Amino acid sequence: MQQRPLGNSGIRVGRLALGTMTWGRTTDEYEARDQLAAFLDAGGSLIDTADVYGEGVSEEMLGTLIQEFECRDSIVLATKAVSLPNTERRFDASRRHLLDALDRSLKRLDVEHIDLWQMHAWDSHTPIEETLSAIDSAIASGKVRYAGVSNYCGWQTARACTMQQVKPNSVPLITTQMEYSLLERGVEREIVPAAKSLGIGILPWSPLGRGVLTGKYRHSIPIDSRGASADTSAFVNVYSDERAKRIVDALATAAQGLDASPAEVALAWLRDRPGVIAPILGARTNAQLLMALGAEELELPEEITSALNDVSEPHMGYPESGWAQRR
């Protein structure tokens, strides 16, 4: 697998990453083992999890498999803190919560340090100075090597990164993890240019548009899919409008012409977008992961990239584009 810098750092990672959000929920330990084996065999290195995935089970499963595969030195391990699902507060980026959450993650993962520790979301109740101070403490302690953010909007990203860059003896933030796909290109308004200016890399989550870009929802809803589940259908149905249909149809046409799957084409398109380090592959089964990993070998012709750009073009208005942003 081709390698890329992990943001403005000395680490290099494969240009496809393994996500583990389904582990401990719809992916059992046997499928997880197969996924990790397939990912490592493909030359992948960046593995992403979070303290809240599967209520901590994802980290536990990953920790067990890291020991089993004896692969700690060959992977770049990323996790997250801040989220508090099913609580009134929802997000807690206070020093107390973050450092406690980090210790719990290290215990579940059974490792001595995290390579990339990400703030899962912006917490409006905590001053950003306090959050960044907790990151500094985590890095100074040796428990964290680098830090990043996730789901921050443009001004939040710029503020956090700039403050961290100018503080003496602080390690700059190196990544932002955002939803990004052919169906969700909103990050191109402010996050992509901010990332370029700030020297941070983009890690796209849900690169297959919550499964819609696989094409499996084109004509019906598979009974074993998230779109058919009462608990998760709303998550998928965000992309059930006419715009999404046009994009998926164009993707299917391109895939047919390239003798590839729609998922491979969608991932190859995203992989090569400016600022992207590695789309995060959050497959439920090993078969799904193997299909997605096939994108590594696919290079899109310029005319197909252009056609996909056109059909999925996001609305760009004032002030992110137009006369005020002439270059």
Start-to-end C-alpha separation, the chain = 35
| Residue with tokens 């989550």, as numbered in its chain | 205
CATH number of the domain residue 46 falls in:
3.20.20.100
Read off the pLDDT of each residue in 214-236 and give the average, rounded to a whole number: 68
Cβ-proximal residues to 20 (8 Å cutoff; 6+ apart), any chain: 27, 32, 47, 48, 49, 53, 58, 61, 62, 282
Q: Mind giving me the DSSP string for 68-126?
A: HHT-GGGSEEEEEE-EETTSSSEE---HHHHHHHHHHHHHHHT-S-EEEEEE-S--TTS
Measured from the Cβ of residue 95, the count of other Cβ atoms closer than 10 Å reads: 16
Q: Is residue 247 part of a domain?
A: no
| pLDDT at residue 324, rounded to an integer | 84
Tally of domains within the chain: 1
Q: Give the lowest-confidence range in 1-5, 14-18, 197-201, 322-326.
A: 322-326
| pLDDT at residue 283, rounded to an integer | 95
| pLDDT at residue 239, rounded to an integer | 86
Q: Is residue 249 part of a domain?
A: no
| pLDDT at residue 235, rounded to an integer | 73
Residues tagged active-site: 53
On average, the pLDDT of the chain sits at 94
Q: Is residue 130 part of a domain?
A: yes
Read off the pLDDT of each residue in 123-145 and give the average, rounded to a whole number: 98
Chain segment 47-73, per-residue pLDDT in tens: 999 999 999 999 999 999 999 999 999
Does residue 224 carry a pLDDT above 90? no
Q: Give the lowest-confidence range in 93-107, 176-190, 223-237, 288-302.
A: 223-237
Read off the pLDDT of each residue in 70-86 and give the average, rounded to a whole number: 97
The DSSP secondary-structure symbol of 215 reads T
| pLDDT at residue 229, rounded to an integer | 61
Q: Is residue 72 part of a domain?
A: yes
Percent of the chain exceeding pLDDT 70 equals: 94
| pLDDT at residue 325, rounded to an integer | 82
Q: What is the extent of the structural domain holding 18?
A: 3-211+273-301
| pLDDT at residue 232, rounded to an integer | 67
Does residue 109 carry a pLDDT above 60? yes
- Sort 243 into a burial class: Cβ within 10 Å, 0-12 / 13-18 / 19+: exposed
Whole-structure pTM value: 0.95
